[in-house]
Amino acid sequence: METEKKDIKSYTLPELTKELEELGEKRFRAAQIFDWLHKRQVTDFACMTNLPETLRKRLQEVYSLVVLREVKRLSSAQDETVKFLFALPDDKVIESVFMKYKHGNSVCISSQAGCRMGCRFCASTLGGLERNLLPSEMLEQIYRIQELTGERVSHVVVMGTGEPMDNYDNLVRFLRLLTAEQGQGMSIRNITVSTCGIVENIRRFAEEGLPVTLALSLHAPDDIVRRRLMPVANRYPLEEVLAACDDYFEKTGRRITYEYSLVAEENDTKEEAEKLGRLLHGRNCHVNLIPVNPVKERAYRQSSFKNVLNFRKTLEKYNINVTIRRELGADIGAACGQLRKSHLDSVSGTESKEGEGYE
């Protein structure tokens, strides 16, 4: 049996240098290869024309070069949002979204194929977790989108399918590679990582020297409501989650974004807004209100626009910075795992396997 090839795109430059030394090659070859992989973002060893032919052949034998394949593309007619369905090397599918803003181009990437967190309103978790994505597979979503759109991506949000803090080591490695000067060189300030609140990993993350914006999926002002919407809340009480976020802010100086998806009659009353206001009052943070996107497998309904506005007004009374998320690509089902889900349904008529994580 062929031994598995090593994933060359997931090595940092110091690691790649060691690899090349072990192959009996000069150190500078690593920098050349890293440049091809992460700056020029080529899809074939044969493109690496400043390497001797023999080395290119050797690389081909020892390493795999992960490249995502475009399966489907949906372009919004309303704005310039483009949603991509990509196939991984093992043919599992993931989705990524390209969005244009005044401040630059942003890509929303997936961190796992599927998800095991089981949030009640989310389409990404309906089939459970298939597997973690490798650092190379997270990077590739950005590299391929740059190639396919011809546009430079300046911002990344890890807010697609999956729970990034449930794929911690690969997430951290991905962030180091994405921000490496010798590669894409993305500014750490332009990256947001969204989590449902896995406390011990938020605390670890604060120590990594990777001060990205942390977005915390709150969705409730107390544990009772939160547990109804998010099974992960059974494992981590709100108090611990907020303490970990405070710690993240203290260590990184980055203001936390609290995400709050408004679901009619679940978490959108005046009392709940007041409670949230009291909870977050005095914290240097930002609240992002998201009218929940209806998912056909779920009975949840979006809050009325009036309720959304009232909710914001109440929070502002507590001097909290609030935005209402602008919906981009609403016409292409751009929200939260819906494209991948409909693709999986169409190929296999999949059964729903609820998040096995924290029930």
Please give the positions annotated as active site: 95, 336
Q: Which distant-in-sequence residues (6+ apart) come within 8 Å of 334 by Cβ?
A: 74, 76, 81, 83, 97, 328
Closest CA to 140 of 209, 65, 205, 81: 65
Contact 72, 346 (CB under 8 A): no
Q: Is 289 in the site for ligand SAH (CB under 6 A)?
A: no
Q: Which distant-in-sequence residues (6+ apart) come within 8 Å of 246 by Cβ?
A: 283
Dist CA 311 CA 307 (whole Å)? 6
Stretch that binds ligand SAH, among 118-126, 135-143, 249-257, 276-284 (CB under 6 A): 118-126
Q: Is 194 in the site for ligand SAH (CB under 6 A)?
A: yes
Stretch that binds ligand SAH, among 16-24, 193-201, 202-210, 244-252 (CB under 6 A): 193-201
* Helix/strand/coil for 10: helix
Q: Is 261 in the site for ligand SAH (CB under 6 A)?
A: yes
Q: Is 272 in the site for ligand SAH (CB under 6 A)?
A: no
Cα dihedral 13/16/17/21 (nearest 10): 180
- Please say which residue, 134 or 335, places its beta carbon nearer to ligand SAH: 335
Stretch that binds ligand SAH, among 119-127, 178-186, 272-280, 305-313 (CB under 6 A): 119-127
Among 293, 303, 307, 314, binds ligand SAH (CB under 6 A): 293
- Please say which residue, 30 or 159, places its beta carbon nearer to ligand SAH: 159
- Neighbour tally for 256: CB within 10 Å: 23
- Please say which residue, 17 or 252, places its beta carbon nearer to ligand SAH: 252
Q: Is 95 in the site for ligand SAH (CB under 6 A)?
A: no
Question: What tokens were used for 36?
Answer: 């091809």
- Please say which residue, 13 or 214, places its beta carbon nearer to ligand SAH: 214
Question: What tokens were used for 147?
Answer: 């190639």
As a residue count, the chain comes to 359
DSSP assignment of 152-213? ---EEEE-SSS-GGGSHHHHHHHHHHHH-TTTT---GGGEEEEES--HHHHHHHTTTT--PE
Binding mask 141-180 for ligand SAH (x = CB under 6 A): ------------------x---x-----------------
Among 30, 138, 172, 196, binds ligand SAH (CB under 6 A): 196
Q: Is 106 in the site for ligand SAH (CB under 6 A)?
A: no
CB of 115 to ligand SAH, least distance (A): 6
Q: Which distant-in-sequence residues (6+ apart) come within 8 Å of 126 by Cβ?
A: 295, 297, 337, 341, 352, 353, 354
The count of residues interacting with ligand SAH (CB under 6 A) is 18
Interacting residue ranges for ligand SAH, rule: CB under 6 A: 117, 119, 121-122, 159, 163, 194-196, 217, 259, 261, 290, 292-293, 295, 335-336
